[in-house]
């Protein structure tokens, strides 16, 4: 019989609540936080049903379920990090383009106001 990790599940739940509050306050977008919410949901599931994770670990050749848990966690965090990098780079490029466009428009405006 597997014991359930209530404390860890509660921690994950609190993290989900914080994230949802941030989404509601429009501090982060739902689109950007969806992958983290999914990860937290999976971690909560594993905390409440560790036998599933244990079977999966055995199937994948891990001697200890904890090793599998850490490996999966590191892998998931790396994926999240790459996702954040892509998002950040996209935003940076858009910001550069917008700054350039703004400078060009301001220059045009200066020219027009000088002519009039």
Interaction site with other proteins (CB under 8 A): 96, 99-100, 102-104, 106-107, 110-111
| Rounded Cα distance, 116 and 113, in Å | 5
Compare residues 29 and 100 and give the one whose CB is closer to other proteins: 100
> In whole angstroms, how close is the CB of 61 to other proteins at the nearest point?
36
Compare residues 10 and 98 and give the one whose CB is closer to other proteins: 98
| 30-48 and 50-59 helices, crossing angle to 10° | 90
Compare residues 81 and 108 and give the one whose CB is closer to other proteins: 108
> In whole angstroms, how close is the CB of 111 to other proteins at the nearest point?
7
User: What number of H helices and E strands is found in the chain?
Assistant: 4, 0
> In whole angstroms, how close is the CB of 64 to other proteins at the nearest point?
39
- Closest C-alpha to 88, from 32, 47, 42, 37: 32
> In whole angstroms, how close is the CB of 80 to other proteins at the nearest point?
24
Cβ contacts of 66 within 8 Å, gap of 6 or more:
none
């Amino acid at each position: 019989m597997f014991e359930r990790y209530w404390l860890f599940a509660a921690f994950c739940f609190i993290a989900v609540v914080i994230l949802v509050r941030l989404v509601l306050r429009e501090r982060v977008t739902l689109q950007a936080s969806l992958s983290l919410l999914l990860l937290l949901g999976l971690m909560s599931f594993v905390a409440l049903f560790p036998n599933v994770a244990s079977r999966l670990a055995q199937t994948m050749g891990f001697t200890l379920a904890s090793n599998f848990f850490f490996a999966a966690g590191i892998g998931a965090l790396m994926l999240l990090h790459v996702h954040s990098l892509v998002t950040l780079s996209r935003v940076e490029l858009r910001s550069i383009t917008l700054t350039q466009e703004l400078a060009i428009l301001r220059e045009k405006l200066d020219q027009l106001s000088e002519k009039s």
